[in-house]
Structure 1
Amino acid sequence: MFKIKKVLNSSVVLAEDQNQQEMVLFGRGIGYGQKPGQMIEEKKADQVFMSVDNMRAKEFLQLLDSMPQEFIDLTQHIVQYAEKRLNSTLNSGVYFTLMDHLNFAVERHKKNINITNRVYWEIKNYYTEEFEVGNYALELVNDTLGIQLPKEEAANIAFHLINALGEKSDSKDGMKYAKMIGSIVNLVRYTLNMKMDQENIHYSRF
Structure 2
Amino acid sequence: MKAIKKINNNVAICRDNSNRELIAFGKGIGFPPMPYQITDLASISMTFYRMDKSYYKLLEEIPEEIFETAAIIVKKAQMTLNCNLNPNLLPGLADHINFAIKRMKKFKEMKMLFSYDVEQLYPLETSLGRYAVKLVQKNLLIKLPESEITNIAMHFVNAKEENTSEATFLETEQLIAEITEIIEKMFNTVINRKGFNYNRFVMHLRYYLKRIEEKKQFIDEVGVLFGVMKEENSEIHNCAVIIGSVIDKKLNSQITKDEILYLMIHISRILKNNIEA
- The TM-score, its normalising length taken from structure 2, stands at 0.56
2:190 maps to 1:191: no
Q: Quick check: 2:10–2:27 contact (8 Å CA) kept in 1?
A: yes
| 2:61 aligned to which of 46, 62, 66 | 66
| 1:128 aligned to which of 100, 119, 123 | 123
2:5 maps to 1:6: yes
Q: Quick check: 2:112–2:151 contact (8 Å CA) kept in 1?
A: yes
Aligned amino acid, residue 207 of structure 2 = M
Aligned amino acid, residue 175 of structure 1 = Y
Q: Quick check: 2:9–2:29 contact (8 Å CA) kept in 1?
A: yes
- Call closer, same or farther: CA 1:34–1:150 in 2, change over 3 Å: same
What's 2:34 paired with?
Answer: 36
- State how 1:14-33 maps to structure 2 within 5 Å: 14-16=13-15, 23-29=21-27, 31-33=29-31
- Call closer, same or farther: CA 1:6–1:169 in 2, change over 3 Å: closer
Identity of aligned residues (%): 26
Q: Quick check: 1:4–1:35 contact (8 Å CA) kept in 2?
A: no
SS in 2 for 1:97: helix
Q: Quick check: 1:8–1:31 contact (8 Å CA) kept in 2?
A: no
- Call closer, same or farther: CA 1:78–1:13 in 2, change over 3 Å: same
Higher-RCO chain (CA-CA 8 Å, sequence separation at least 6): 1
Aligned amino acid, residue 71 of structure 1 = I
- State how 1:134-149 maps to structure 2 within 5 Å: 134-149=129-144
Q: Which ranges in structure 2 are unaligned for 5 or more consecutive residues?
A: 173-205, 233-257, 262-277
1:33 offset after TM fit, Å? Answer: 4.0
Q: Quick check: 1:13–1:30 contact (8 Å CA) kept in 2?
A: no
Which whole-Å deviations, capped at 9, do the CAs of 1:102-126 have from their partners, x for residues lacking one?
Answer: 0000111112322221352221110
What's 2:202 paired with?
Answer: none
CA distance in 2, matches of 1:145, 1:17: 31
Which 10-residue stretch deviates more, 23-32 or 40-49? Answer: 40-49
2:214 maps to 1:175: no
1:48 offset after TM fit, Å? Answer: 3.3
- Call closer, same or farther: CA 1:112–1:64 in 2, change over 3 Å: same
Aligned length: 185
- Call closer, same or farther: CA 1:147–1:28 in 2, change over 3 Å: same
2:77 maps to 1:78: no
More helix by share: 2
